[in-house]
Amino acid sequence: MAINSPEGTRDLLPDEAKFWAHFRDTAFGIFARYGYQPIETPLFEQTDLFVRGIGQATDVVSKEMFTAISGENFKRVMEGGTIKAKSRLSLRPEGTAGVVRAVVQHDLVPQGAAPAKLMYAGPMFRAERPQKGRQRMFNQVGIECLGAEDPSVDAEGIIMLMRFYAAIGVPMDATRLLVNSMGCEQCRPKYREAVREYMNAHAEHMCEECMRRAEINPLRAFDCKNPGCAEVMEGAPKISDYLCDDCREHYQAVKTYLDGAGISYIEDPTLVRGLDYYTRTVFEVQVDQGMGSQNAIGGGGRYDKLAEEVGGRPTPGFGFALGYERCALAIQAAGQAFPSAQHCDIFVACVDDSVRAEAFSLVQACRDAGVTAEMDHQHRSLKSQFKLADKVGSRMVAVLGPDELAAGEVKVRNMSTHHERLVKLDQAKALLAQFGGEPFGGAHASIEDVFAGEE
Ligand code: AMP
């Protein structure tokens, strides 16, 4: 039986793989204008990093982490043995913990330094029940800014994210930005207590899971999809009534910056997000078009205590992550197709096998000159070589036969105008050699100039 890709994973076939690269490059291009620099961290980290950073009580850590274990350690565990903490590894379920760990480990924000602004892109792993827009391995693009607690950091982060969505083709009229402040260690405990008391008073209408949550982290009940719980939680105390003066001021400043940039948002005092590390600003971007129940295409917030949680000095932070796959669904639903990954400047077709060596050398000369060139590798007929040239979207086909070769020529057909020209092989190769891999266009001649010849 054939083996398929694991449940909850997707192959990005060439058209989509190319779109993903474009998606990432567009994001990085925009974020770089805001001073963000790329960082790459391992796909797996010590499990403890996620337990301490994201929180043991979160679903992401308690239920959804993929544990990575070496063959030797696996054997040890299977035989009832234990393994050292540093050998307990998990595939990263999100990017923030790893980036913050790297910032602390390499001291990227020494005391008094400017903030470290970092961006990343790559796969994340969560053992969730797969459904539309929810996978076990998915791609995220994200940013983290460490070392500044000013609300301007939060606001510029949100603004650049919204600019990116618009640039990549997410339908902005079907998109909404929700914002909230979750307070800080001064004001949130009182709020959490108030929610817990409220939940206990309404326990008979709430699910068991929520009541279990009430003990560990009652705020998580705001995310419960159970209609009974949702109804009860609508009447729950609002964080906005509990924010301390500093948090209220910070939140107000973020909103003022967003207003100034013309970004519309909805204040949602029930937005708590799934991870424990958030303080103050939290936000989420949702799209209605083309999505199943998983309509969050990105989100993030401030995490002023996370660096300390993972053993660093106090370093305020802000970050977000956006999910590539859900954005792609929204973009496709808005009628945008992935542009074809196929691109070919010239296809060199052989009339028979006697010219293959020369065709091979011409194709190579084109590629060395920075031209995308292709030839047949299956000894097809000339007719089917033309079909293949069409399929790969070739702009020109160079036909090489024994007669042309004897005359030192090649016949070049422009596939859109159907004009044919005879081109001197030596001349074309000499022109190609001048380019030496420099991109065509601009000051250079084009591939059409190389194969201009005579009509
Ligand atoms: P989170 O780290 O949960 O805030 O996720 C940030 C973004 O990643 C979400 O808004 C989604 O777009 C995306 N995302 C999170 N989990 C998944 C998943 N299981 N499958 C696909 N995309 C996901």
Q: Given this model, what pLDDT does residue 95 score?
A: 97
Atom of ligand 1 nearest to the CA of 284: 10
Tell me the pTM.
Answer: 0.90
φ and ψ of 129, to 5 deg? -75, 115
The answer to whether 140 is a known ligand-binding residue is yes
**Co-location of 126 and 161 in the same domain:** yes
Instruction: Find the mean pLDDT for residues 330-339.
Output: 89
**Residue 176 Cα to ligand 1 middle (Å):** 16
The answer to whether 120 is a known ligand-binding residue is no
Is 420 a member of any domain? yes
Boundary (domain end) residue, out of 280, 301, 333: 333
Residue 436 predicted with pLDDT over 70:
no
Domain count, the chain: 2
**Co-location of 80 and 117 in the same domain:** yes
Q: Given this model, what pLDDT does residue 176 score?
A: 97
Instruction: Find the mean pLDDT for residues 233-259.
Output: 96
Q: How confident is the model at residue 65 (pLDDT cuts 50, 70, 90)?
A: very high
**Nearest CA among 259, 254, 257, 263 for reference residue 172:** 263
- For 68-115, what is each residue's pLDDT tens digit? 888 888 888 889 988 898 899 999 999 999 999 999 999 999 988 999
Is 68 a member of any domain? yes
Residue with tokens 């296809």: 347
Is 203 a member of any domain? no
Is 28 a member of any domain? yes
Residue 290 predicted with pLDDT over 90:
no
**Nearest CA among 443, 440, 434, 401 for reference residue 420:** 401
Residue nearest to atom 10 of ligand 1 (CA): 298
Q: What percent of the chain has pLDDT over 70?
A: 97
Residue 61 predicted with pLDDT over 60:
yes
**Co-location of 28 and 65 in the same domain:** yes
The answer to whether 134 is a known ligand-binding residue is no
User: Rounded to whole angstroms, what are the CA distances from 31 to 138, 167, 259?
Assistant: 21, 12, 20
Ligand 1 pocket test: which of 140, 143, 331 has the largest number of ligand atoms within 8 Å of its C-beta? 140
The answer to whether 367 is a known ligand-binding residue is no
Instruction: Find the mean pLDDT for residues 312-337.
Output: 95
**Co-location of 18 and 158 in the same domain:** yes
Residue nearest to atom 9 of ligand 1 (CA): 298
- β-bridge mates for residue 347, sequence order: 374, 397
Interatomic CA distance for residues 136 and 311, integer angstroms: 29
Q: What percent of the chain has pLDDT over 90?
A: 75
Check: CB of residue 286 under 8 Å from CB of residue 227: no
**Co-location of 171 and 130 in the same domain:** yes
Compute the Cα dihedral for 203, 208, 212, 213 and give only its sign.
Answer: negative
Q: Given this model, what pLDDT does residue 441 score?
A: 47
Is 121 a member of any domain? yes
**Co-location of 89 and 130 in the same domain:** yes
**Co-location of 111 and 171 in the same domain:** yes
Compute the Cα dihedral for 346, 350, 356, 357 and give only its sign.
Answer: negative
Is 199 a member of any domain? no
CB neighbourhood size of 11 (10 A): 8
Interatomic CA distance for residues 69 and 88, integer angstroms: 7
Boundary (domain end) residue, out of 287, 313, 333: 333
CATH number of domain containing 359: 3.40.50.800
**Co-location of 294 and 328 in the same domain:** yes
CATH number of domain containing 135: 3.30.930.10
Residue 57 predicted with pLDDT over 80:
no
**Co-location of 433 and 362 in the same domain:** yes
Is 446 a member of any domain? yes
Q: Which amino acid is at 256?
A: T
Residues spanned by the domain of 144: 14-187+243-333
The answer to whether 277 is a known ligand-binding residue is yes
Q: How high is the mean pLDDT of the chain?
A: 92
Q: Given this model, what pLDDT does residue 442 score?
A: 46
Check: CB of residue 386 under 8 Å from CB of residue 349: yes
Ligand 1 pocket test: which of 294, 302, 331 has the largest number of ligand atoms within 8 Å of its C-beta? 294
Pocket of ligand 1 contains residue 298 by CB under 6 Å: yes
Report helix, strand or coil for 181.
Answer: strand
**Co-location of 326 and 377 in the same domain:** no
**Residue 326 Cα to ligand 1 middle (Å):** 8
Atom of ligand 1 nearest to the CA of 135: 20
Boundary (domain end) residue, out of 304, 333, 362: 333
**Co-location of 296 and 442 in the same domain:** no
Is 20 a member of any domain? yes
The two beta strands, 279-287 and 175-181, are: antiparallel
**Co-location of 353 and 314 in the same domain:** no
Pocket of ligand 1 contains residue 138 by CB under 6 Å: yes
